[in-house]
Amino acid sequence: MIFKILVIDDENIVCDAIYSYLVEKGFQVSTCQNAWQAISILTREFFHLIILDIMMPQIDGYQFISLLRIKRPNLELPLILLTAKALTLDRIRGYETGCSIYLSKPFDPDELIAIINNLIKRHYKLKRPKKSYKLLKKQNVGIKPIKLTEKEQCILNLIAQGVVNKKIKKLTFIGARYVENYVSKMLKKSQSNNRSELVIKSIKNKIVI
């Protein structure tokens, strides 16, 4: 599964550096320069983790986290604060605001990757793919091209890993009813009768990541 990360920093050089390094490590990354852009992006897309700077114009990192809690109260995801402010009081304020990790600049890129991997491992406890799906691959199922949206692809990947709707809801930040709607659309697109058949055809089409 490819994890999506949003990087928020008003310094283009920092954004570009983090973007390049994370993409090289296999993450899908989006960047923006201020809190309002980030809020707008988060209303359209889902992310598994956010990396943000504290010292930003108009709305700083602390205020962004507070604003995010108001705008998206049900949004639960790891937050990494990057900043040159290394005072103990600043770190305490960051943790009290709701950040997961407070990382002082300059930082080692390898340390950032280690932190990201650890947060994702702790926050998203995904089940391993069920053995039954591996066996089902051998069944003779008709193959037809299946075109999925980005959100459908994400949900399909989770279904293939054996993740239940309740967990899918938390990982994709959408309601349980909408999860079922996406599944129904994929069943119709693939002309499948159930989820198992959907996964089989997806494996045959090589569209499960």
- Could you tell me the domains of the chain? 4-123 (3.40.50.2300), 131-204 (1.10.10.10)
Please report, as a single letter, which amino acid is at residue 177: R
- Nearest of 187, 205, 196 to residue 129 by alpha carbon: 196
pLDDT in tens, 100-136: 888 888 888 888 999 999 888 888 765 444 433 343 3
* Residues paired with residue 102 on neighbouring β-strands, in sequence order: 81
pLDDT in tens, 138-191: 444 444 566 778 788 888 877 877 777 777 777 777 777 788 888 888 888 888
- The answer to whether the CB of 52 falls within 8 A of the CB of 146 is no
pLDDT in tens, 139-151: 444 445 667 787 8
Q: What is the pLDDT of residue 73?
A: 63
* Residues paired with residue 62 on neighbouring β-strands, in sequence order: none
Mean pLDDT of the chain: 78
- The answer to whether the CB of 181 falls within 8 A of the CB of 172 is no
**Gap between the Cα atoms of 205 and 49, Å rounded:** 29
